[in-house]
Amino acid sequence: MKNLFSLEGKTVAVIGAGSGIGRSVAQGAAQHGANVVCLDVKADAAAETAEGITSLGCSASSGKCDITDLTSVRDRMVDAASKNGIHGVVCTPAINVRKPILQYTSEEFARVVNVNLQGNFNVLQAAGQLMTQQGFGSIVLFSSIRSITTEHGQSVYSMTKAGIVQLVKTAATEWGTKGVRVNAVGPGVIETPLTEPIKQNKDWYNAYAMKNPMNRWAQSSEMAGPTIFLLSDAASYVTGTILFADGGWLAADGRFTPPGM
């Protein structure tokens, strides 16, 4: 049982490894024994992550991958699987344009959907093609608490994060008998480059912190554990679901604590 979380001897490709959650997941997977392929649209950032991993005596390589380009994604998946197959694929990138629905432009809508939905579909399809042929593998996409609950200005972002959950469920349904598991992680509020604008507004930042029962934001490193679980044999019977790592955000309405409680 103690080896259930080990990724020893497995190849794991992490897209978005250049920063934030992706970098933390890449580092965590390497420390659990995986040969990590660090991929990012920013090749230099991916290389920096890989160098940091190898400096610790772990195995890592890097490359450029644009998830909106299916050819780019397919090429990187094939490269990663060239030796012993590809055991895990994690996709973390997302973008957001915070605007009321009535102010959204068609161009902004297309840009968010292209990265968050089309990009994740490209990764899912490319990884799935390889994994269903080899007969094993675990794919982890990143959704959000916004797949369940939303707020002003989050219409398109929330729509795409809900869409990722349905992609995960469908892929899990189609590939379950082929040895391929597909799941999602649903973060709450995480300190990453994407949420940096919120951190600059003290009232906004604190409001989010007080919304969840733990009264704080998460660090990107706290998303590595849930992801590694889904990649590992510890989750061998887990597929088609979303694992929320949200500090209890979805468990509490956060409006009022009754007297004496």
Q: What is the mean pLDDT of each run of 10 residues along the chain (261 residues)?
A: 92 97 98 97 98 96 97 94 91 96 98 98 97 97 97 96 98 98 97 83 90 93 98 98 96 73 67
From 24, 62, 72, 161, active-site residue:
161
Is residue 8 exposed (0-12), middle (13-18) or buried (19+ Cβ within 10 Å)?
Answer: exposed
C-alpha dist (Å) from residue 159 to 154, 156, 255: 8, 5, 25
* pLDDT score at 261: 67
Q: Which of 97, 110, 182 is nearest to 142 (CA)?
A: 182
Strand spans (E) along the chain: 11-15, 35-40, 60-64, 88-91, 137-142, 180-187, 190-191, 218-219, 242-245
Q: For residues 96 and 25, is the Cβ–Cβ distance under 8 A? A: no
pLDDT at 227: 98
Helix (H) or strand (E) holding 239: none
Which is catalytic among the residues 61, 72, 138, 144?
Answer: 144
Contact call for residues 46 and 38 (beta carbons, < 8 A): yes
What gap in Å lies between CA 218 and CA 214, rounded to an integer? 10
Residue boundaries of the structural domains of the chain: 11-242
Residue 255 CB: number of other CB atoms within 10 A? 6
pLDDT of residue 192: 84
> Which pLDDT score, from 0 to 100, does residue 255 have?
65
Q: Is 161 a catalytic residue?
A: yes
Enter the DSSP assignment of 82.
T
Phi/psi class of residue 210: alpha, beta or left (left: φ > 0; alpha: ψ in -120 to 50)? alpha
Residue 111's H or E segment, with its range, is helix 106-113
- Picking from 98, 116, 95, the residue whose alpha carbon sits closest to that of residue 204 is 98
Residue 42 falls in the annotated catalytic set: no
For tokens 């259930």, name the residue: 4
Q: Is 144 a catalytic residue?
A: yes
Burial string for 9-21 (b: 16+ CB within 10 Å, else e) reads ebbbbbbbbbbbb
Closest to 38 (Cα-Cα) out of 18, 68, 66, 11: 18
CATH number of 11-242: 3.40.50.720
CA distance 180 to 137: 5
- Token output for 147: 């797949």
pLDDT at 69: 97
Closest by CA to 182, choosing from 222, 124, 134, 246, is 124
Annotated catalytic residue within 72, 157, 208, 232:
157
